[in-house]
Amino acid sequence: MKNTLILLFTLLISIIKADENYYYYVNLTNLKNDKLLVELVPPTFKENEVEFCFPAMVPGTYEVYDFGKYITNFKVYGKKGAEIKVQKLNVNCYKLSPSNLIEKITYEVDDTFDKTGNGKVDEKTVFEPGGSNFEENKNFSINTHNLFGYFKNYIKNNFILEFTKPIGFYPSTGLSNIKVNADKDVISVFNYHDLVDSPIMYTIPDTTSLQVANAQVLVSVYSPNKLINSKFIANTLKELLDIQRMYLGGTLPVDKYAFLFYFTDKPTLSGSAGALEHSYSSFYVLYENDSTRLKQEIRDVAAHEFFHIVTPLNIHAKQIGEFDFNNPTMSEHLWLYEGMTEYAAHHAQCKGGLITVDDLIKTMMEKYNNSLVAFNDTMSFTWMSKNVLEDKIHIQYNNVYEKGALIGMCLDIMLRDLSNGNYGTQNLMKDLASKYGKNVSFNDEDLFNDIEKFTYPEIGVFLKTHVSGKTPLPIDKIFEKIGITFIKEEKSKEITLGGVDYGFDEKTQRLVVYNTKQMDDFGKMLKFKNGDQLVKLNGKVIDIINIKNIIGNYFTNTKEGDLVTFEIARPKFRKGKFKYKTLKANAIMINVVRKNTIKVNENITDKQKLTLKTWAGL
């Protein structure tokens, strides 16, 4: 059967190998100066002059990176020695003529993981999941938009990629049309949109396959120190994927999906870690830690990226469905693509029993506080989305994961309340996907009206007032629908840990004081300093395993007047050296002001009980 499939694939390639195709050749065994040589045999052109471009931006990044910055030594060869005129139009595009005499194009591509465009340190850094990594004989993580360009007006042509690879390397990807051999692989993609939507990771394979309902799921891992393997991640994701399948109605809108995980043991150039979604895969760049500590982080990030199979794969505006890679325009509805996806990632885990309803509400409250502290709460969300590529607006982008998720929660609770528990955002997204689908895009200005037609007039008012409007979310009224009182400000007297901000030192595995600006009177009595690392609290060693119990017992059992002792490690001038000290003070009650807290009501109505039960899946 296998030989028959390979024969059919070879026959398919020979049939489609016609003048309308792009033929790309990349040799992964010939990495020089951290650059790969790419060769292109282009399609035959109708016009005399053509433009060849690398993307300025790709879907999902919401930022212009200008991938042409990573291209050097660009050369165009004419048939039988004919001269081809090459005019560089901008950082990403070239004008070529006469186009009918072009035989091939070659250029070198630099990776993005360890340098910015053209090696300049002042250039914008590409967030690693949106870039590429070249490590000789170790790993080639390829976001295809980093390597392959396109001719304008020829974006729907077929792309055939041939990779020469080190022996033993395997191409992990969400693509299906692949012919794998010992030293060369051939991959066929039907158009440039699909190509850009399909990262490929080449490495010695560490893969695990899962069958989730109708979908075959591939988990592929590169971990330089072998601290994490694909089997662990597959086991971590299996229950989550089953929950997400049920959340989406029992089946998945894809037949194949690939999780590509690249773990690094060094700081990233961008200073961040995370993932980038695609229609049939997602690419992750995460820090290589002990796998047990990564479990919930992997679940949260993977849950978000996987839910992008709904948006924007099956629900998207024309700006995404007809994406312009070099003159991008943005849709108004980042609240839908990123916010609703982030909400669903957490909500599904609650309904599936991976986290509790208390965990879900705590996460949503953290997002609420973050949205107030770090972002403009009176900025229209649709206006921000539409203008997010402007530098002064882009600083608001990350609010899509905070307030955007809260918009999803508010809609879900409102829908449950209005429908007596029979309809929520799960139903809404399914209805929108049925109306549109992968091949049909909506008009930005029509979406709210379409949602209102599926739901209620109150939902239309909410969207126009709190999403496109400038009015903050009515979080108090939303929580009231599930029997929770929202408290804007609350004052109390409490035992504290000094009112300092704590972080975590990965090297010493200890809590560390990193901010004493808001230190309270108890902290001043103890004389905490920035950089102090907690070793013991009341004689008990604090470590990553028992920290929760020790801190919890401290707050439960400490009374005003009790002697409290902290054994701390205070940094010396010499890096990595500490002086060990004991800090002592008698506990005192501190006036504490808490903002934006919630309290579960003791007596709630039957309507509130029903809304809470159907919303949280209790």
User: How does 103-127 read in b/e, with b if 16+ C-beta sit within 10 Å?
Assistant: eebebbbbbbbebbbeeeeeeebbb
H-run or E-run covering 2:
helix 2-16
How far, in Å, CA of 336 to CA of 404, rounded? 8
pLDDT at residue 18 tops 50: no
Provide the token pair at 54: 């690398």
Return the minimum-mean-pLDDT range out of 22-36, 68-82, 504-518, 604-618.
Answer: 504-518
**Is-contact 100 44, C-beta < 8 A?**
yes
**Which of the four pLDDT bands, split at 50, 70 and 90, describes residue 312?**
confident
Q: Lay out the sheet containing 85-88: strands in order across.
A: 85-88, 93-97, 50-53, 150-151
Partners of 200 in beta bridges: 142, 173
Contact 22, 42 (CB under 8 A): yes
The fold adopted by the segment(s) 207-309 is Neutral Protease; domain 2 (1.10.390)
Q: Are 247 and 346 in contact (CB under 8 A)?
A: no
What is the rounded distance in angstroms from the CA atom of residue 80 to the CA atom of residue 77? 9
Question: Do 540 and 549 touch, CB atoms closer than 8 A?
Answer: no
Give residue 311's pLDDT: 85
pTM summary value:
0.84
Please give the pLDDT value at position 291: 67
Which pLDDT score is estimated for 8? 45
Q: To the nearest whole number, what is the mean pLDDT of the chain?
A: 92
Helix (H), strand (E) counts: the chain? 19, 28
Q: Tell me: pLDDT of 472 over 80.
A: yes
Number of residues written out for the chain: 618
Q: Do domains 1-205 and 496-588 have the same CATH topology?
A: no
Greater model confidence, 438 or 143:
143
Give yes or no for residue 531 having a pLDDT over 60: yes
Q: Is the dihedral of CA 117, 123, 124, 126 positive or negative?
A: positive
Closest CA to 399 of 125, 57, 62, 66: 62
Stated as kind and residue range, the H or E segment containing 347 is: helix 340-351
User: What dotted CATH number matches 333-482?
Assistant: 1.10.390.10
Residue 71 to residue 35: CA distance in whole angstroms: 9
* Mean pLDDT, residues 426-441 taken together: 93
The yes-or-no verdict on residue 455 having pLDDT over 70 is yes
- The amino acid sitting at 190 is F
- 585 DSSP β-pair partners: 564
Tokens representing 68 are 């042409």
* CATH, domain range 496-588: 2.30.42.10
User: Which segment of 135-144, 420-429, 501-510, 605-614 scores lowest on mean pLDDT?
Assistant: 501-510
Residues of the chain with pLDDT > 70, as a percent, come to: 95
Per-residue confidence (pLDDT) for residue 295, from 0 to 100: 84
pLDDT band for position 203 (cuts 50, 70, 90): very high
User: Which tokens in the block code for residue 372?
Assistant: 């107030």
Is pLDDT at 439 greater than 90 in this prediction?
no
Cα angle value 528/530/531 (rounded, 5°): 105
Residue pair 446/332 in contact by the 8 Å Cβ criterion:
no
Per-residue confidence (pLDDT) for residue 258, from 0 to 100 = 97
130-180 per-position pLDDT tens digit: 999 999 999 999 999 999 999 999 999 999 999 999 999 999 999 999 999
Distances (CA, A) of 291 to 236, 519, 549: 10, 35, 22
Task: State yes or no: pLDDT of 589 exceeds 60.
Answer: yes
Contact between residue 429 and residue 310 where contact means Cβ atoms under 8 Å apart: yes
List, in order, residues 6 or more apart from 463 with CB less than 8 Å away: 448, 451, 452
**32 and 128 Cβ atoms separated by less than 8 Å:** no
12-16, 99-103, 367-371, 454-458: which has the minimum mean pLDDT? 12-16
What is the C-alpha to C-alpha distance for residues 257 and 234, in angstroms, rounded to an integer?
13
Spatial separation of the C-alpha atoms in residues 391 and 304, rounded to whole Å: 26
Confidence check: pLDDT of 112 > 80:
yes
Q: Amino acid identity of 438?
A: K
| Neighbouring-strand partners of residue 501 | 515
The pLDDT value given to residue 464: 97
Asked if 167 and 31 count as a contact pair (C-beta separation under 8 A), the reply is: no
Going by the DSSP 8-state scheme, the letter that residue 599 receives in this structure is E
- pLDDT at residue 276 in the model: 95
Which of 400-404, 424-428, 491-495 has the lowest average pLDDT? 491-495
C-beta neighbour count of 8 within 10 angstroms:
10
Identify whether the C-beta of residue 231 lies closer than 8 Å to the C-beta of residue 190: no
At 118 the pLDDT is: 60
Q: What is the pLDDT of residues 347-397, one digit of tens each?
A: 999 999 999 999 999 999 999 999 999 999 999 999 999 999 999 999 999
Sorted by where each begins, the domain ranges of the chain are 1-205, 207-309, 333-482, 496-588
Q: Find tokens 């990594």 and name the residue.
A: 133
Residue pair 268/260 in contact (Cβ under 8 Å)? The answer is: no
Q: What is the mean pLDDT of residues 250-267?
A: 92
* pLDDT computed for residue 573 by the predictor: 77
Contact assessment for residue 150 and residue 53, using Cβ atoms and an 8 Å cutoff: yes
How many other C-beta atoms lie within 10 A of the C-beta of residue 545?
9
* pLDDT tens per residue across span 120-133: 555 789 999 999 99
Q: Looking at residue 77, what DSSP letter applies? A: E
Rounded to 5 degrees, φ, ψ at 386 are -65, -30
Residues 84, 94: Cα–Cα separation, whole Å: 12
Three-state DSSP at 523 gives: helix
Q: Which two tokens mark 9?
A: 């694939």
Q: Residue 220 in contact with residue 205, Cβ under 8 Å?
A: yes
Q: Which CATH class is domain 1-205?
A: mainly beta
- Residue 421 Cα distances to 412, 459, 613, angstroms: 10, 15, 8
369-373, 383-387, 486-490, 495-499 — which is least confidently predicted? 486-490
| Tokens linked to 176 | 């299906």
Separation of alpha carbons 564 and 581, rounded Å: 14
Q: Give the pLDDT band of residue 119 (cuts 50, 70, 90).
A: low
Quote the CA–CA distance of 241 and 302 in Å, as a whole number: 9
